Each structure stands twice: as structure tokens, then as C-alpha cells.
Amino acid sequence: LWIYLQDKFKQSLSKVSYDTWIQSANLVRVTDNSVTVEVPSTLHKEYWQNNLTTRMVEYLYEYFGREISPLFVTSEEQANHEENKEPQKSESFDHISMVSSTLNSKYSFDTFVIGKGNQMAHAAALVVAEEPGTIYNPLFFYGGVGLGKTHLMHAIGHQYLQINPNAKIKYVSSENFANDFINSIQNRTQEKFRQQYRNVDLLLVDDIQFFADKEGTQEEFFHTFNALYDDRKQIVLTSDRLPNEIPKLQERLVSRFAWGLSVDITPPDLETRIAILRKKANAEGLEIPNDTLSYIAGQIDSNIRELEGALVRVQAYSAIQRNDITTSLAADALKSMVKKDKNLDVSIATIQQVVSKYYQITLADLKGKKRVRQIVLPRQIAMYLSREMTNNSLPKIGKEFGGKDHTTVIHAYEKIEKALTKDDDLKHELEQIKKSLQ
């Protein structure tokens, strides 16, 4: 991760800046929702906080596909922190470590804006919060990144608690469930693990697509599910796709997940995006003219998390410039976020077809594993365009290319992006391909 970030900063900062601020820093901790950077002095810390935070948030978002907060500590603070900490098992940096899960107070029904893409999901969530365990069990939300699945899940939890203040609720990501399970085996605390998960009134398990390939965890979850279901306890699940599209998800889980109700959440239309921005702006006490809100909502159409990111950026920009928020200020602030080529209604499949035809290779080769240059380059170009021109997530793009890992897609993207700065022929080819796509 640190190498990835360093690379990003290298590309965007002058050499002097890079040497001063980035070289001297170090990654010391990664958790579920934050990343801690250690810097040599308070001066460095202030500089990072004031000048590098926005970029950092952006890069972390690219890397993790979700919002992660950067934290900064001086070496001195870090040393004190280490001293006070009880000896613990070491945290691995590549792996997002386990964090005990609680409900986020910001994710309530009150703060949720209802629109076309999510009204079904919202309605189902309300029903489940008010009559848990009876009608829709399990309730299953699926849809792309940043569309409000986690938000709705927490909202159910809050609402449920309001009605039954003593209820036991457990929110967990599927990864944390898997970690808890594995730890319980290692530490011989399986009984405790089961207590923890089966003794609840409402179990919320987020992003179950990460159960793919985890046989033992699936087995355990199967039993957890059955125990809760038999007790008429409510279960809510989310995923980025339907259960039967999750690779290597056991058939018996797939069929159980279909017992209740599955609802998809689709990207918000313009009107909903404006409403969401307005709500967030009000909550932050920001004064933003209506046409500026429409402008921002018109630029960012992929998902709500990015929409929020755009607002944060505009806000920061106006603070730095000491200027009111206007449309032209917003346009400046969002320059780097706006993808001109997006919104073309192009699918990955179309891109693959056009690219393979253009380079006269077969579709099978384009999606395959052959490593010869005549094939690798078109493949990377097709991946690049899929990222550039569609709103598909990196894992999804990887999947469409014969099940490749998302890091392969990142690699392809960066390779082409870099090549484009030097290679005019390539640039020309890409332009032509884009033309035929339109």
C-alpha cells in the first residue's frame, strides 16, 4: 500500500516536495477505516493535514474502493502509543485488520435520501426494522459500490434499537466474520464465537461476496444462519451481486439467501443526486447555490460516495481559496475528478469487441491469459477503457476479463496511462477506438 501511495505522490508532487514530505513519512497502521502515517515532526504533520489529506483520501479510495480516513502521527506520538499499548499480535499492513463493529450514527433513515434507484430497498429496510424476523428473512441488498447498502443496513439497526432498546444487534463485514471465525479456531474460543453470533436479535453481514473461496467460513456461516433463522431472528445481508453470481458460494447458502427478499440498489438519477447533495450541504452548514449543486451532481454520476467526495473537495477548495462556493469554483475543484469520457453508455463487452476487432485478435485471446505482446497490449487497453469509460468496479472489470484480479486491472490501467504520456501512436490508436465506441 505504501509503495502504491508513494508512487501516486511521486506523480503528483514536485521532486522537492516529494523528498521533503513523502520520503520522510511511513505507514504505521491500517485498520478497517483508517490509515495512519507517521511523520517526523509536528511541522510535517501540519503540512500533511493541510495540504496532502485530499490527495491521500483520493488515493486510498482508489486503492480500497471505499472511503478510508488518513491519520497522521509524529514519531514521538507514535513511540508513546507503542509504549502504552499492550503487547498484541502484529498487524499486517496488507490486510485490513479486524475492528470491532458498531453502528455508524450517521447512517440512519433520517439521513437517507429516497430516490428511484433505492426506494424498494428503503421500503424493505423499514419493514424489516419494524417487523424483524417475520416477513423478509433474510433481507438481501445487492448493487454497486457506494450506492447505500451499508447505510441502509445501519439504518435498520438504529431503527430496530429505537423500538427495542435492549435488542442485541451485530453488524459485521463478511471479512471480519471470517477473521473472527479463524481466530476462534486458533484461540480455541469457538464457543464464544458462536455465542457472539448466534445470540443476537439482528445480524447484519455486509459484503458477503467476500465469502467466495472461504470454505470453512461458509460452513460456519451456514450454521449461524440456520440457528438465527430457526429462532426467527432477522438477518440482513449485502453484496455487490446476486448470491448465485458469487463465485464458489455453496449452493445451500445461495438457496437460503433466496428464502427472503432480494432487492437491488441502482445508481441514483440526477434528481436524487441533487437531493443528496443538498441534504449533505445542509448538514454541514454549507451555503451552496442551487445551480452549483446541479452542476456537481451532473458531473459525478457514478456513485454516492464519490458524490460526497466531490462535495468535500469543493468545500476544502473554497476554504483554501477563501472564496464562496460557486459553480466556477466547483468546476475548478473537481477538474481532476471529472471523467469526460464517462457516461457514454458503453459496456465492457462492447469495449472488448471493438478493441479485439481493432487489433485483429480474438475475443478469447483478449480475455485469456496469453502473455505475448500482440495480445497483452490490446488487453491492457481494453481494461484501461473499461475503467475510463464505464462505471464498473475494478473487480467487476477483472471478472469480465476471464476472472482476473483487480490488481491486474490497476496495473493495466497505470501502464496505459503512463504510456499515453509518451507514446503518440498509442494515443492516436486510443482516440480511434474511442471514436468507434461512440
Binding site for ligand ADP (CB under 6 A): 107, 111-113, 118, 145-151, 276, 304-305, 308
Report which of 155, 83, 82, 147 is spatially closest to residue 118, judged by C-alpha positions: 147
**Alpha-carbon distances of 44 from 34, 50, 63, 122, rounded to whole Å:** 19, 10, 24, 45
- Closest separation between CB of residue 154 and ligand ADP, Å? 8
Report which of 232, 169, 241 is spatially closest to residue 205, judged by C-alpha positions: 169
- Closest separation between CB of residue 279 and ligand ADP, Å? 6
Indicate which of ligand ADP, Mg ion, none lies near residue 118 (CB less than 5 to 8 Å, by partner kind): ligand ADP
* Closest residue to bound ligand ADP by CB: 148
- Closest separation between CB of residue 277 and ligand ADP, Å? 9
Indicate which of Mg ion, ligand ADP, none lies near residue 394 (CB less than 5 to 8 Å, by partner kind): none
- Closest separation between CB of residue 97 and Mg ion, Å? 18
Strand partners of residue 261: 139
Indicate which of ligand ADP, Mg ion, none lies near residue 98 (CB less than 5 to 8 Å, by partner kind): none
Indicate which of ligand ADP, Mg ion, none lies near residue 112 (CB less than 5 to 8 Å, by partner kind): ligand ADP
Nearer to Mg ion, 142 or 413 (CB): 142
Q: Which residues are within 8 A (CB) of 435 and not within 5 positions of it... i.e. 6 or more apart?
A: none
Using rule CB under 5 A, residue 303 touches Mg ion:
no
Nearer to Mg ion, 32 or 429 (CB): 32
At 303, the amino acid letter reads N
- Closest separation between CB of residue 150 and Mg ion, Å? 3
Nearer to ligand ADP, 151 or 170 (CB): 151
Indicate which of Mg ion, ligand ADP, none lies near residue 416 (CB less than 5 to 8 Å, by partner kind): none
- Closest separation between CB of residue 204 and Mg ion, Å? 11
Nearer to ligand ADP, 200 or 311 (CB): 311
Nearer to ligand ADP, 118 or 262 (CB): 118
Indicate which of ligand ADP, Mg ion, none lies near residue 365 (CB less than 5 to 8 Å, by partner kind): none
Using CB under 5 A, which of the segments 147-155, 241-249, 330-338, 397-405 binds Mg ion? 147-155
- Closest separation between CB of residue 355 and Mg ion, Å? 32
At 170, the amino acid letter reads K
Report which of 292, 432, 282, 237 is spatially closest to residue 354, judged by C-alpha positions: 432
To 5 degrees, how large is the angle CA 117–CA 241–CA 303?
Answer: 45
**How many residues sit in the footprint of Mg ion (CB under 5 A)?**
2
Nearer to ligand ADP, 48 or 112 (CB): 112
Grid cell in block for residue 164:
427495542
Nearer to ligand ADP, 121 or 389 (CB): 121
Helix axes 174-186, 215-230, angle to 10 degrees: 100
Using rule CB under 5 A, residue 150 touches Mg ion:
yes
- Closest separation between CB of residue 303 and ligand ADP, Å? 7
H or E segment to which residue 28 belongs: strand 26-30
> Which residue bears the cell 457472539?
196
Nearer to ligand ADP, 121 or 437 (CB): 121
H or E segment to which residue 205 belongs: strand 202-206
Indicate which of Mg ion, ligand ADP, none lies near residue 396 (CB less than 5 to 8 Å, by partner kind): none
Residues 329, 311 contacting (CB under 8 angstroms): no
- Closest separation between CB of residue 362 and ligand ADP, Å? 36
Residues 383, 401 contacting (CB under 8 angstroms): yes
Q: Is 343 left (phi over 0), alpha (psi -120 to 50) or beta?
A: left
Nearer to ligand ADP, 112 or 221 (CB): 112
Q: How far apart are CA 142 and CA 265, in angstroms?
A: 6
Neighbours of 346 (CB within 10 A): 19
Residues 327, 299 contacting (CB under 8 angstroms): no
Indicate which of Mg ion, ligand ADP, none lies near residue 145 (CB less than 5 to 8 Å, by partner kind): ligand ADP
Using rule CB under 5 A, residue 209 touches Mg ion:
no
> Which residue bears the cell 465492457?
348
Indicate which of ligand ADP, Mg ion, none lies near residue 183 (CB less than 5 to 8 Å, by partner kind): none
Q: Is 438 exposed, middle or buried (0-12, 13-18, 19+ CB in 10 A)?
A: exposed
Q: Is 138 left (phi over 0), alpha (psi -120 to 50) or beta?
A: beta
Q: In what order do the strands lie in the sheet with 69-74?
A: 26-30, 34-39, 69-74
- Closest separation between CB of residue 398 and ligand ADP, Å? 18
Indicate which of Mg ion, ligand ADP, none lies near residue 148 (CB less than 5 to 8 Å, by partner kind): ligand ADP
Residues that bind Mg ion (CB under 5 A): 149-150
